[in-house]
Amino acid sequence: MFRTAQLLVRLAGKVAVITGGASGIGEATAKEFIANGAKVIIADIQDDLGHAVAAELGPDATYTHCDVADESQIAAAVDLAVSRHGHLDILFSNAGIGGATSQDDDMASLDMAAFDRVMAVNARSTLAGVKHAARAMSAGVVLCTASVASVLPVPEAAIYSVSKAAVVAVVRAAAAPMARRGLRVNAISPTTTVTPMVTRLPAAVLSKMFSGSNVVGIEPEYVARAAVYLASDEARYINGHNLVVDKGYSVYKAADAGVAMPAGTSN
């Protein structure tokens, strides 16, 4: 009985920074981390919402403004955790943007400035998070939110798909160097999740991007619980992994794809 109760509080004494922590997956993860015994720094650009979430979660939550496109602000969030709590154990690089849709209407007119912005927020910030975790943590875990689009690219969100594939590439490339420092780094790739970023998309865009039950989406708390597991000591031997939380979408959708090559082409 004692061991069962102990396992239910998986993050006792841990300190975490969660970027994009004021809403969606980040907010759900902050709640789950605190319920599992952690103290959390919520880092976001949504100041009013972030302060409200921190107040709701109580004394174990602190809000700080953080634009992840600016490396110095990621560094400041990490430093805040260490100065306030004495150490940092978990960095969850979760903040991200979707970019405009559709992104494949004409690849010849691709907006490279829009690409640079999505990459800066989604991919470059992930690498910056790894860098500052390595600087500040002597042991612990880096988690990164990727997407099912990193496994099975979504043509209507081509730029976003590239950025999330880059997140997984960062995780895999960083796994061995981070392990030498006593750190683990892993990604979570959720399918369509009921977050503000997704619910703002028109229904027609969602139905074009995804199919069947995937359009309905999953609740962010289920992604958050995957994050709790990967951040806990129960996952101590998991490193460089991309945990796909997608209801099997990437399996059956890939199997159904069977896209025929245009006439006159070969692979």
Return the amino acid letter for 55: A
| DSSP code at position 260 | P
pLDDT tens, 200-234?
665 655 665 555 555 557 889 999 999 999 999 99
Sign of CA dihedral 162, 165, 167, 172: negative
Alpha carbon 76 to its chain centroid, in Å, reads: 19
The pLDDT value recorded for residue 249 is 81
The residues pairing with 183 across neighbouring beta strands, listed in sequence order, are: 140
Pairing of strands 39-44, 15-19: parallel
Q: Does residue 32 have a pLDDT over 60?
A: yes
The pLDDT value recorded for residue 153 is 86
Catalytic site positions:
147, 160, 164
Is 267 a member of any domain? no
Q: Does residue 35 have a pLDDT over 70?
A: yes
Q: How confident is the model at residue 265 (pLDDT cuts 50, 70, 90)?
A: very low
Q: What is the pTM of this model?
A: 0.87
Is 251 a member of any domain? no
Is 187 a member of any domain? yes
The pLDDT value recorded for residue 259 is 40
pLDDT tens, 175-194?
999 999 999 999 999 987 66
Please, what is the end-to-end C-alpha distance for the chain in angstroms?
A: 58
**Domain count of the fold of the chain:** 1
Under 8 Å between Cβ of 139 and 182:
yes
Mean pLDDT across the chain, nearest whole number?
87
Q: Which domain holds residue 138?
A: 15-101+110-244
The pLDDT value recorded for residue 99 is 79
d(CA 144, CA 146) in angstroms, rounded, equals: 6
The CATH number that applies at residue 97 is 3.40.50.720
Let me know if 185 is exposed, middle or buried by CB neighbors in 10 A (0-12, 13-18, 19+): buried
pLDDT tens, 138-179?
999 999 999 998 998 887 788 999 999 999 999 999 999 999
